[in-house]
Amino acid sequence: MPNPTEIVINTSPLLALSAACGDLNLLQALYKQVFVPYEVCQEIEKGGLSGFSVAEFKAAHFLHKIDKPLIISPFLKNSLDIGEASVIQLALDKGIQTVCIDETVGRRIARLNNLSLTRSIGILIRAHQEGHVFSMQEAIKNMQDRGIWLSDSVISVALKAVEKTAQLH
């Protein structure tokens, strides 16, 4: 399966990747265009309680940050939080096939809309497979240190993928 060149990304993966890597530059290395809906921009720029990742987000000038709210279908608006709904809506509006959503319900609804999916760990796995050098264990630890929850099965998949990549090289 060829790797996508365009992606629409949600708040949680942006925070997770920022925690894992210290910035969002990995996205620029992997994709020609990374779209961030207005609604996700607003969530990130509010910064939560700690302001985590606001500076990294603002520094990522390569991101295509949509500057006005989307008209989101009532189904998406009533089924998902605003970030996930806007990611799916923007992908559908622009004809972008791949979205990055970490939350389970958002992933299910993206599939129902015939969108391809990845998540923050999927992006890290792809980066490792494409030769970007970093420690997956350290990236996972950085994410966990920032309060980003990862299931044992997701961690296991990530570590096995890195191990498999290392065996191929």
CATH number at residue 105: 3.40.50.1010
Residue 122 lies inside a defined structural domain of this protein:
yes
Number of H helices, E strands in the chain: 10, 5
Range of the domain at 76: 6-168
What are the angstrom distances between the C-alpha of 129 and each of 61, 140, 159, 165, 166?
25, 16, 12, 6, 9
pLDDT bin (cut points 50, 70, 90) of residue 1 is very low
Residue 1 lies inside a defined structural domain of this protein:
no
Give the number of domains in the chain. 1
pLDDT in tens, 65-83: 999 999 999 999 999 999 9
Q: What is the share, in percent, of the chain residues with pLDDT greater than 70?
A: 95
Residue 115 lies inside a defined structural domain of this protein:
yes
